A and B are shown apart, each in its own frame.
Chain A
Amino acid sequence: MLQFLPYMVAAWLLLVGLYGIVTSRNLVHAIICLSVAQSSTYILLLSVGFERGGTAPIFLDVPVGTRAVDPVVGALTLTDVVVGATVSALLLALAVQAHKHHGTLDPDRFGKERD
Chain B
Amino acid sequence: MTPALRRQVFLAAAAVAGALLLWGLTGLPDYGVYNGPYGDVLNRVAVAERSATNVVAAVTFDYRGVDTMGEEYILFAAVLGVAILLRAQRDEHEEAPDEDAADRHAPATSNAVRIVGLTLVGPVVLFGLYLVVHGHLTPGGGFQGGVVLATAALLVYLSGEYVTLRRVSPELVTDVAESVGAAAYVGIGLLGVAAGTAFLANVLPLGQPGQLLSAGTIPPINAAVGLEVAGGFVLLLSEFLEQTLVIRRPGEVT
Contact = CB atoms under 8 A, between A and B. Distances in A.
In the complex they form, do A and B come into direct contact, defined as C-beta atoms under 8 angstroms apart? yes
Interface of A: 2-8, 10-11, 14-15, 18-19, 22-23, 25, 47-52, 54, 56-60, 64-65, 68-76, 78-80, 82-83, 86-87, 89-90, 92-94, 96-97, 100, 108
Contacts of A97: 85-86
Interface string B12-26: 001001100110011
Select the residue from B22, B39, B42, B54 with max chain A CB neighbours within 10 A. B39
A71 B43 contact: yes
A78 B141 CA distance: 10
23 contacts: A3-B32, A4-B25, A7-B25, A15-B14, A15-B17, A19-B10, A22-B10, A57-B55, A58-B53, A58-B139, A59-B47, A60-B53, A60-B54, A64-B44, A70-B34, A71-B46, A71-B58, A72-B39, A72-B59, A72-B64, A75-B59, A86-B79, A96-B243
B81 A90 contact: yes
A89 B234 CA distance: 12
Given A19-B10, A79-B143, A80-B71, A52 B32 contact: yes
B68 A79 contact: yes
Interface residues of B, number: 66
- 4 tightest A-B contacts by CB? A70-B39, A52-B32, A7-B25, A51-B34
Select the residue from A69, A90, A92 with max chain B CB neighbours within 10 A. A90
Contacts of B60: 75, 78-79
Interface of B: 3, 6-7, 10-11, 14, 17-18, 21-22, 25-26, 28, 30-34, 36, 38-39, 42-44, 46-48, 53-60, 64, 67-68, 71-72, 74-75, 78-79, 81-82, 85-86, 137-139, 141, 143-144, 146-147, 209-210, 229, 232-233, 236, 239-240, 243, 249
B81 A71 contact: no
Contacts, number: 166
B144 to A, nearest CB: 8
Nearest to B76: A86
Contact of B26 (A7, A14, A69): A7
Contacts of B82: 89-90, 93
Contacts of B86: 93, 96-97
B6 A89 contact: no
A92 B82 CA distance: 9
Select the residue from A54, A68, A75 with max chain B CB neighbours within 10 A. A75
A79 B71 contact: yes
A83 B71 contact: yes
Nearest to B26: A4
A11 B27 CA distance: 14
Contacts of A76: 67
A23 B31 contact: no
A51 B39 CA distance: 10
A106 B125 CA distance: 40
Nearest to A73: B39
A86 to B, nearest CB: 4
Given A64-B48, A80-B71, A50 B78 contact: no
B53 A49 contact: no
Given A57-B43, A75-B59, 13 more contacts: A4-B25, A7-B28, A18-B10, A22-B7, A23-B3, A50-B31, A71-B46, A75-B60, A78-B143, A86-B78, A86-B233, A87-B74, A90-B82
